[in-house]
Structure 1
């Protein structure tokens, strides 16, 4: 089955949504196909090695994300894929990259703030790896880049 590619999303610094490839689709091999599934293309390497630049990320808006899920989040025109971390006691949601550096920051949003009303969080259900022999990602992972 195929799902529509709706845009590009950051896997690095948060970016605005822009996309020029109308009509593009990607494959979804999961068990729960429905017409609301969509795909975004990864831009950046903050989520490497699981998600690398150019990979296709399939998202399901019908599934409620929970603590620890990979999510595609959107707020105020910014779009990114990160790990969803919820602290209900502190009333915050955090979007955490795998790779920490000054370039890749954790985004924190107070859940009791007006800003939270603008937040959209969609669960990532599949990643289509498009770079099967990414030596640079493997070397970076073991600290030998």
Structure 2
């Protein structure tokens, strides 16, 4: 167990990333609470998603920036070496070919800080998560 020297919370992993104190209430607060290295990447990903989904509400859900309209459409979050994009398993499968240069797992795409982010692809994924290509809502990141 590791205990954060700032807030006193205990975690399984050494130097576990977390929020000391009150979690952010807005995406702006979330981004400003991240490292200086991560902030520009988070802003450009946010802008790409916002451009693709202008009607979606921005909120914090599951402690992550979230675009929402009746359900969580897509989420993203900073990690030590990458930005995690969380469009859900169906989206990762749908865009598998375009994502071949990125590490993916069920519902998650890792976008390393050292690579330019595929902003057009991110926008396409966000639109697909909202609109889907079938009659029912896509199973992206519903709460």
Q: TM-score, normalised by structure 1?
A: 0.26
More helix by share: 2
More strand by share: 1
Q: TM-score, normalised by structure 2?
A: 0.27
